[in-house]
Structure 1
């Protein structure tokens, strides 16, 4: 499954770029680590002179386990990564104004109520949940294909 997770991250980044023309995903700095956090998707959205730093956290569920909903712990993990990225960006260029957005990207079918409440309570940046549906049989195939995406939050 590790290899499939590694394949899922760049495909998720490409899906985001394809559906948001202003977003450019890059290879995360320092071999994927910012602070002590491993970053799956790192990108910048430049719009009207405002830069948004976008941090994606991928949570791939095994085939048949998509009904395991996004948990509050998974959202808290994403929040830690966004804060680490904010600290990294502000050290790198303290004068530049940026906003921050966290996206939890998964093939899970839903979000636990506690996780929803946690997301609503976040005030310093936005957190969104993207569900990517993967072509059936992906665990047994060479290719992991994203069939469609929908924003759950």
Structure 2
């Protein structure tokens, strides 16, 4: 379910009332330095062109993505590019998750799905997103892109 909202406020208006608190609490976990914007029909946290002029290799006009948060039909999704690009970070997260939640981890390559908003491990998500600074994310991204070329 991709939104057609063109602003953060418009996106937030579309979110069902019962999800708004959880959604905003997730937004509060994002570290300083990343810029909040709408991208790919979701709220995105990106490295701005002023810091990383090359932008996203798939579409250099777009800033480098880091995290997206979306209200999908049946869940809230957190897309974290760091766990996709960094196997050590992924392993840390998967190992830590059961310490913070009794729910089974529902995850894809970069997508963490939360079907029950009252079961979101906000403390763990805050630790996860704080593990990579803007510059560390740029360095990780560049090392992965250089490997794949």
Q: TM-score, normalised by structure 2?
A: 0.29
Structure with more of its chain in strand, by fraction: 1
Higher helix share: 2
TM-score (norm 1): 0.29
